[in-house]
Amino acid sequence: MIDESAVAARTAPAADVLLQVNGLVCSYPTAGNRSFNAVDGVSFAVRRGETLGLVGESGCGKSTTGRAIIQLPRPASGSVWLDGDEISAMQGDVLRRQRRRLQMVFQDPISSLNPRRVCGEIVAEPLRIAGGFGEAEILARVERALETVGFDPHAVWSRRPHEFSGGQCQRISLARAIVADPQFLICDEPVSSLDVSVQAQILNLLEDMKARYGLTMIFISHDLAVIKQVSDRVAVMYLGRLCELAPADAMYARPRHPYTAALLACVPRVDRPTRYDASDRPILEGELPSPIDPPSGCRFRTRCPRAQTRCANEVPEMRELAQEHRVACHFPLDA
């Protein structure tokens, strides 16, 4: 018998889709020769030129998803397509050449930089690893990348990471990510460790870079206010699975999954009274279950006010409730 899900996972994406993720699974070993899935069957597509926000609580698998897309480490199963090429099937030098097209900005702007290297060498490293660039071209590309993120190349070239602030280190990370002219950029919580004023600078810089270089992005964050500012569409994760995917405006105006509604209820709003009104959206309660032993059926059911017997027995599949608004819930809101 043909495994239809396996066939679908090997199917190339549509022409307007730059990145296609099909059935992504990331497993990690635990004690007693067991393993658990930090990411369990995640599928989504990112169109050319758009920014997809990926949001959820700490430990839901957001960063693992981003790393699995760039094959660092490789997922246990599933496929990742970039502009019609299945990078999850590539290895060695072939994969290394493809990584020029797909770059990542890591969460910690300081520890992601080599403390023994100077700024110029850090930004030049992707070009030297990729190969095929002369020394003059490398120098020109590095200078242009540093200028793009707001640095004077000659003033910062010989300085090491400990001589920069957190926001400046994040700018170096962005310069390193764009120096090889990638098509796709994954930003893993790029502003979470920065103060508010610096956050605004980095977010504005990302928008400028997206327009200048024609970038397509995944923006990973737990901050729903930031996600709304930068994203065209938003995907919500819970305990390794996607539970809602929709255009940003539609999701923020009318969330259909109880988990999304609870997350949005926690976002501070100037039009909301100081004391929370219980008639508004429900506040999220309870602890996140262990990913090693997740609940049966719907993984959110242990914290969901709408949970019923069906939720424990049947895993909800993603289905479209409105145009481009998909939800994995047996009893969605306003249904």
Rounded to two decimals, what is the model's pTM? 0.88
Provide the pLDDT for residue 11.
Answer: 52
What integer pLDDT is reported at residue 248 of this predicted model? 95
Domain ranges, ordered by start, for the chain: 9-112+181-327
pLDDT block averages, 10 residues each, the chain of length 335: 41 76 93 86 95 93 94 92 93 86 88 94 92 93 94 96 91 92 93 81 88 92 89 96 95 93 80 49 71 91 92 94 94 84
Tokens of 151: 């640095």
* Region of 212 on the Ramachandran plot (φ > 0 left; ψ -120 to 50 alpha; else beta): alpha
Tell me the C-alpha distance between 54 and 44, whole Å: 11
CATH of 9-112+181-327, one of 3.10.20.70, 3.40.50.300, 3.90.730.10, 3.40.50.170: 3.40.50.300
The closest alpha carbon to 137, from 127, 146, 129, belongs to 127
Spell out the alpha helix ranges (H) of the chain: 4-9, 62-69, 92-98, 119-130, 135-148, 153-156, 166-178, 196-213, 224-230, 248-253, 258-265, 309-313
| pLDDT of the residue at 107 | 85
Identify the pLDDT of residue 200: 86
Kindly report, residue by residue over 102-115, the tens digit of the pLDDT: 999 988 888 889 99
Which residues have C-beta within 8 Å of that of residue 134, sequence separation ≥ 6?
Answer: none
